[in-house]
């Protein structure tokens, strides 16, 4: 191809040179040759292009055939894979069917066994349940019987505790009444003797009057002889003493009636009055063991409570204080019970302190448990402080114990304060008066 181009270009050059020499014939011959070679080159080029096109066509045809073969092979491979997957699927399904069938069979066998076992277990559980229910019923009956016995025991213990307290109260009341009645008895004997002396005086005065020898001097002498003025003064003193004794007996009876006549009503009371009534009854049982020191707030407001319940709290606390003083080893020092009342932080409080044996930490923790007591058998049922705690709880109050072993114990009871009805009425009246005055 390169040579033909050089020859063609050479002929074209020669044609131009001959044309320049005016040798047109040579130029024509060279130009003809140029055309012939050029045509030959063009024809070769076309043949080459045709050959290239033919080669490309054949190559494309071969590529198409190769692609077709590859595609056919791929399709065959995919079909083989699909067939293989189908076969695998059917194998898996078959295996699963076998597995499910086996599991179903095993489940049926296990279900049958489980149903049989469940039935057996149900029968066993039923037997055990019936047995357990019978035992529970038996235990329940025994527990009810025990609870009933415990309630009876508690009632009996409470009754015995009340009897002990009642015995203490009766002993105190008897002694307190015995003193004024003894005074009255002695006074009546003295009055009788004075009346006998007055009867002798009157007899002699009548006798003197009948004799007709009476004078003011004789009467005066007779009066001085029989000490009539002294007799009248003695009788007056004895009558006053009897009146005081009767008033004391009346006070004792009134206090006893207030404390012993129990009811569930709550009324407005002064705690100081309740303390005084309790001391009238119980001080005789205490005075041989301890001195009673009172520190009462006389401005204490009225407190809505049950009179007898408050009295029971005080009796139990004072009795415990007395017993604690009696049990102490150092009997040389004087026993002391201090009773305080007051108003603090919207609370009304009662505080009873003693210098008795004191309480250990263990005893303080168990102090309010029913039937817990450190006293000797027969000295108490261990219900006193338990009753106190239950009453305090009813009123929404709280009780605290501060004790040092060997030195003494202090019980403090705080009651939440609410204005008594009497105070509210008085306050309302004051408010109404204030409104009227302003009007």
Domain contains 417: yes
d(CA 301, CA 345): 13
**Cα 201 from chain centroid (whole Å):** 83
Residue 282 lies in a domain: yes
User: Has residue 322 been placed in a domain?
Assistant: yes
- Would 254 be classed as within a structural domain? no
User: What domain range includes position 297?
Assistant: 265-439
pLDDT for residue 251: 61
Query: What pLDDT shows up at residue 389?
Result: 87
Q: Please give the average per-residue pLDDT across 69-76, as a whole number.
A: 84
Task: Answer yes or no: is 344 within a domain.
Answer: yes
Dihedral-angle region of residue 359 (phi above 0 means left; psi in -120 to 50 means alpha; beta otherwise): beta
Our count of domains for the chain comes to 1
- The verdict on residue 206 lying in a domain is no
When the pLDDT of each residue in the chain is averaged and rounded to a whole number, the result is 76
Is position 13 within any domain? no
Mean pLDDT of 231-253: 70
Is residue 270 predicted with pLDDT exceeding 80? yes
Q: Is the pLDDT of residue 338 over 90?
A: yes
**pLDDT-derived band at 436, boundaries 50, 70, 90:** very low
- What CATH number corresponds to the domain at position 297? 3.30.565.10
More confident residue, 99 or 349: 349
User: What pLDDT score does 439 carry?
Assistant: 40
Q: Label the pairing between strands 398-404 and 347-354.
A: unpaired
User: Quick one: what percent of the chain has pLDDT higher than 70?
Assistant: 74
In a domain, 90, yes or no: no
Q: Which helix (H) or strand (E) element contains residue 297?
A: none
pLDDT at 435 over 60: no
Tell whether the model's pLDDT for residue 27 goes beyond 80: no
Instruction: For residue 414, list its beta bridge partners.
Output: 349, 398
Query: In the Cβ-directed half-sphere of 151, how many Cα atoms lie within 13 Å?
Result: 5
Mean pLDDT of 21-30: 78
Rounded to whole angstroms, how far apart are CA atoms 85 and 75?
Answer: 15
Higher pLDDT, 421 or 138: 138
Residue range 203-231, pLDDT digits in tens: 777 776 666 555 666 667 777 776 777 77
Q: Which two tokens stand for residue 218?
A: 């004789």
Binned at pLDDT 50, 70 and 90, residue 191 comes out as confident
pLDDT at 283 over 90: no
Checking if the pLDDT of 2 tops 70, the result is: no
């Amino acid at each position: 191809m390169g040579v033909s181009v050089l020859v063609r270009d050479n002929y074209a050059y020669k044609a131009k040179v001959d044309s320049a020499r005016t040798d047109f014939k040579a130029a024509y011959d060279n130009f003809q040759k140029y055309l012939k070679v050029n045509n030959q080159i063009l024809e070769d080029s076309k043949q080459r292009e045709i050959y290239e096109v033919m080669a490309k066509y054949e190559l494309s045809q071969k590529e198409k055939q190769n692609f077709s073969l590859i595609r056919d092979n791929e399709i065959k491979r995919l079909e083989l894979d699909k067939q293989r997957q189908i076969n695998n699927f059917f194998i898996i399904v078959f295996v699963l069917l076998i597995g499910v069938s086996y599991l179903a069979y095993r489940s049926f066998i296990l279900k049958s066994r489980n149903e049989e076992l469940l039935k057996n277990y149900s029968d066993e559980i039923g037997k055990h349940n019936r047995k357990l229910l019978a035992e529970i019923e038996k235990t329940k009956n025994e527990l009810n019987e025990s609870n009933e016995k415990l309630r009876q025991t508690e009632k009996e213990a409470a009754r015995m505790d009340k009897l002990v307290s009642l015995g203490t109260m009766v002993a105190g009341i008897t002694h307190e009444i015995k003193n004024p009645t003894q005074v009255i008895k002695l006074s009546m004997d003295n009055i009788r003797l004075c009346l006998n002396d007055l009867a002798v005086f009157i007899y002699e005065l009548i006798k003197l009057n009948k004799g007709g020898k009476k004078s003011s001097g004789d009467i005066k002498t007779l009066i001085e002889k029989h000490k009539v003025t002294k007799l009248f003064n003695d009788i007056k003193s004895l009558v006053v003493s009897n009146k005081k004794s009767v008033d004391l007996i009346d006070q004792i009876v009134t206090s006893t009636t207030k404390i012993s006549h129990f009811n569930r009503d709550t009324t407005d009371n002064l705690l100081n009055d309740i303390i005084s009534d309790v001391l009238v009854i119980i001080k005789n049982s205490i005075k041989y063991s301890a001195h009673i020191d009172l520190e009462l707030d006389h401005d204490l407001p009225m407190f809505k409570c049950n009179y007898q319940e408050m009295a029971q709290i005080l009796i139990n606390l004072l009795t415990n204080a007395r017993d604690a003083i009696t049990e102490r080893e150092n009997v040389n020092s004087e026993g002391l019970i201090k009773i305080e009342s007051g108003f603090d932080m919207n609370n009304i409080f009662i505080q009873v302190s003693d210098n008795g044996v004191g309480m250990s930490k263990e005893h303080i923790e168990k102090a309010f448990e029913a039937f817990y007591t450190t006293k000797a058998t027969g000295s108490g049922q261990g219900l006193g402080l338990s009753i106190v705690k239950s009453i305090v709880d009813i009123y929404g109050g709280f009780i605290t114990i501060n004790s040092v072993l060997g030195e003494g114990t202090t019980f403090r009871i705080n009651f939440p304060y609410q204005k008594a009805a009497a105070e509210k009425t008085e306050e309302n009246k004051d408010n109404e008066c204030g409104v009227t005055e302003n009007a």
